[in-house]
Amino acid sequence: MAFDLSGRTTLLSSAAMTFDPFAALLDEQPLERLTTLRDQIDAELTRLSDYRGSVDRAITKKRPRASQSSGRGVAKSRRRGDKRELIEKVVKTNPGAQWLPVEVEKRLAEMGKPSSRDSIRVTMRRMVEEGRLRRHPSGNGFMGLASVNGSDQEPLTEAQSGGRGVSPGTSEAKPAFGK
């Protein structure tokens, strides 16, 4: 016979049988006693789980926040409206233009507020559902903010605006009719 580190007695033979004294003790117990023991173990596990949750919450309170621990400055804000406000700010620069998420992504990066293209696309779709943006008539991209008072004023055409428009990706005016 030999002992392993768990306290089990191992018979050294060609079959290498293991003896577990705890299992042997349980095998001798009546069903009622085993059921009671299991219920007590379940109650203890629940109690320990509750303690674990309390300890985890205490650890979370003690850990420094990302903005405090990293030397990179202020942590990103997770408020839902922040990205919407930034997108509105970008689109307001040329509300009649066709805005693709890639263009908004570039503008946000220029503003020092980088965001993923997928996140921008999803946010812009939600803004359409909320009435804060409109889909471009071509079906690709988005355009100017929906009117607050409910009226849908179409953007000025090139002829109405004197032939000079601003492309969403630039701040330069386009020449009228190839001038």
Q: Count how many domains the chain has.
A: 2
Here the CATH number for the domain that contains residue 91 is 1.10.10.10
In this structure, the answer to whether residues 33 and 90 fall within a common structural domain is no
Determine the structural domain holding residue 37 and report its residue range: 2-62
In this structure, the answer to whether residues 94 and 160 fall within a common structural domain is yes
Residue 16, domain member (yes or no): yes
Residue 73, domain member (yes or no): no
Nearest to 164 by CA among 152, 178, 154, 153: 178
Per-residue H/E/C for 71-107: CCCCCCCCCHHHHHHHHHHHHHCCCCCCECHHHHHHH
- How far is 106 from 76, CA to CA, in rounded Å? 18
In this structure, the answer to whether residues 161 and 90 fall within a common structural domain is yes
Residue 174, domain member (yes or no): no
Tokens representing 79 are 């408020």
In this structure, the answer to whether residues 56 and 93 fall within a common structural domain is no
Residue 85, domain member (yes or no): yes
DSSP codes, 111-148: TT----HHHHHHHHHHHHHTTSSEE-TTSSSEESPPPT
- How many CB atoms lie under 10 A from the CB of residue 115? 18
Per-residue pLDDT, 62: 86
Residue 120, domain member (yes or no): yes
Q: pTM (2 decimals)?
A: 0.40
In this structure, the answer to whether residues 123 and 92 fall within a common structural domain is yes
In this structure, the answer to whether residues 8 and 40 fall within a common structural domain is yes
In this structure, the answer to whether residues 85 and 161 fall within a common structural domain is yes
Say which range, 6-10, 32-36, 43-47, has the weakest mean pLDDT: 6-10
Residue 70, domain member (yes or no): no
Look at residue 66 and tell me whether its pLDDT is greater than 60.
no
Q: Read off the pLDDT band of 10 (50, 70, 90).
A: low
Look at residue 64 and tell me whether its pLDDT is greater than 60.
yes
Look at residue 156 and tell me whether its pLDDT is greater than 60.
no
Residue 127, domain member (yes or no): yes
Residue 173, domain member (yes or no): no
